[in-house]
Amino acid sequence: MVYKRRYWQKQLRALHIVEYGHRWINLMKRCFCEEMLDIPSTASVLKSTPRAVRMQLRKLGLLGMPKARKNSRSHYEGAEPKEYYKAQVLALCEQHGEVTSGMLKRDAPGAYKYLYKYDLGWLHAHMALNKDGKRQRDEDADMLRRVQNAVAEICSDGMPKRQITPGLIAVSAGYVVHALGYHADKRPLTNAYLNTVVESRENWLARRISAIAHERKMTGETISIADVKREMSLKPTTFVKYDIFLKELIEQLNE
């Protein structure tokens, strides 16, 4: 679109649309001439005002068309509007294999608006929601591949001394620290894999202390809290928080 803004009395006024873009015009023609929507319904689809739509239709010579305008409750081609719009959605599903809200708003704006209001359950059952769309699945598969490679790199020399956390995996995979947490609900494959490799604090402590105890047993020695403090750079608060857990673990390993 082409905009204009006036400067009046040392103040910038609101933007004014001088020329509407071809995509806006084409969508208006489709709504008004093909979908046979009335001006208020067309304006709603275009997120504009009836006055603006009416002016553009008048400029194009379409306002005086002798066809009856129909609103969202009208009948279409001898059928109920619900059946008419469902047929549009099914046709798009057959054509593209998968239909998203963006495709429906672009290719069948009247159908999306009507079914969203009057039969949302049916609409959701026949379209791919954002979290189930092809783009989301592709991004999930790409993230899963990068995460698996990162975990393989972390464990390339055996189990690392560090705790395997989402942050460590994210950084190793080239993401920001909290990226995996941000996208957990949109990446089911990646999230399921992370649940199998990410260590809790207790699991990490058990793994590391067990490794230290194994080294001591090779020389016929037992493990103590002093060995843990010397081998692991744990904060004093960790020993306080996991005091009972550490004592029971060390006792089991020394048996």
Q: Which of 15-24, 46-55, 193-202 has the highest mean pLDDT?
A: 193-202
For residue 46, the model assigns a pLDDT of 86
* 78, pLDDT greater than 50: no
Instruction: Write down the mean pLDDT value for the chain.
Output: 82
pLDDT winner (highest mean) among 39-53, 54-68, 150-164: 150-164
What confidence category does residue 153 fall into, taking pLDDT thresholds of 50, 70 and 90?
Answer: very high
- Asked whether residue 203 carries a pLDDT value surpassing 50, the answer given is yes
- pLDDT score of 150 more than 90: yes
What tens digit of pLDDT does each residue of 108-139 get?
Answer: 777 887 888 888 888 878 776 554 556 677 88
Checking if the pLDDT of 148 tops 90, the result is yes
Res. 152 pLDDT band, cuts 50 70 90: very high
Of 47-61, 79-93, 151-165, 185-199, least confident by mean pLDDT is 79-93
Listing DSSP states for the chain in one string gives -EEE--EETTEE---EEEE--HHHHHHHHIIIIIS-B-HHHHHHHTTS-HHHHHHHHHHTT-TT--SPPB-TTS-BTTB-HHHHHHHHHHHHHHHHSS--HHHHHHH-HHHHHHHHHH-HHHHHHTS--GGGSHHHHHHHHHHHHHHHHHHHHHTBTBS-SS---HHHHHHHHTS-TTHHHHTGGG-HHHHHHHHHHPPPHHHHHHHHHHHHHHHHHHTT----HHHHHHHS---HHHHHHTHHHHHHHHHHHH-
Above 50 in pLDDT, residue 140? yes
pLDDT in tens, 4-46: 888 777 778 778 888 888 899 998 888 888 877 888 888 888 8
Task: Determine the average pLDDT of the residues in 38-64.
Answer: 84
| Confidence tier at 146 by pLDDT (50, 70, 90) | very high
Question: What is residue 223's predicted lDDT score, i.e. its pLDDT?
Answer: 87
Which whole number is the average pLDDT over 198-213?
90
